[in-house]
């Protein structure tokens, strides 16, 4: 049975990507706060750690783990091709869809005004973040692999620190969006567009959690090690 005192949530997901959905369902944050153990996360959420551990143990090991073997430059490229590309395409579409659904259903479902606001806030939060990674941090990670250590912004640890803080903000917005949308439970009178909005927002949250997990707990530590930067720096 999973030891609730070790490993960390991030390590559990790295070992079995299928665990991500289970942890999401319990509301246990393995991306921004993935350094906690099951016991620590459950204590904060007032959950029974044995129940969570039992569900994790019942999961088959499945999902792509090949990215865990990539060197930092290749992992950065993988993140851009997999997660950044998805967000660049999906965020504008979800923004427009949220506005459409609010216009049609807003009178009967006033919560959609907050959903619409938060979808726009997530887009405004993530799009500049992606560009900073693509134009500043990820090229620096490639340069570190070529031997470069000092940049106009100092060491690679500086943008990593900023991106990590921005990940926390993204996590807060996604949690607020889920709460505003009633955990993405679709009402009985929902049309196809309403249903699609909630299904796609649920999928975006799940993908972004995995995305942040790959950066916070795999890419960023590896990049810091490659640059010879102490974790406390």
Average pLDDT in the 184-208 region? 96
Torsion of CA 74, 77, 83, 87, to 10 degrees: 170
Bridge partner list, 8: 37
- For tokens 């726009």, the residue is 120
Q: What is the pTM of this model?
A: 0.93
Helices in 27-110 by DSSP H: which ranges? Answer: 38-45, 49-58, 72-79, 85-105
Q: What does the pLDDT look like over 18-33, one tens digit per residue?
A: 999 999 999 999 999 9
Q: What does the pLDDT look like over 92-151, one tens digit per residue?
A: 999 999 999 999 999 999 999 999 999 999 999 999 999 999 999 999 999 999 999 999
Q: C-alpha angle 164/168/170, rounded to 5°?
A: 110
């Amino acid at each position: 049975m999973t030891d609730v005192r070790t490993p960390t949530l991030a390590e559990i997901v790295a070992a079995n990507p299928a665990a991500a959905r289970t942890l999401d369902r319990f509301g246990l944050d393995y991306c921004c706060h993935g350094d906690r153990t099951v016991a620590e996360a459950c204590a904060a959420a007032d959950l029974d750690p044995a129940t969570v551990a039992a569900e994790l143990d019942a999961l088959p090991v499945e999902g792509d783990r090949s990215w865990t073997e990539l060197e930092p430059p290749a992992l950065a490229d993988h993140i851009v091709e997999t997660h950044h590309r998805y967000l660049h395409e999906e965020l504008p579409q979800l923004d427009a869809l949220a506005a459409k659904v609010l216009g049609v259903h807003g009178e009967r479902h006033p919560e959609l005004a907050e959903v619409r606001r938060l979808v726009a806030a997530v887009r405004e939060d993530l799009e500049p973040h992606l560009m900073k990674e693509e134009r500043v941090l990820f090229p620096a990670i490639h340069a570190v692999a070529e031997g470069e250590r000092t940049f106009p912004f100092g060491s690679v640890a500086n943008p990593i620190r900023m991106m990590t803080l921005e990940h926390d903000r993204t996590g807060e917005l996604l949690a607020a969006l889920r709460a505003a949308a009633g955990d993405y439970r679709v009402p009985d009178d929902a049309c196809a567009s309403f249903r699609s909005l909630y299904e796609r927002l649920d999928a975006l949250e799940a993908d972004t959690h995995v995305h942040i997990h790959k950066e916070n707990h795999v890419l960023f530590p590896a990049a810091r090690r490659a640059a010879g930067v102490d974790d406390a720096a």
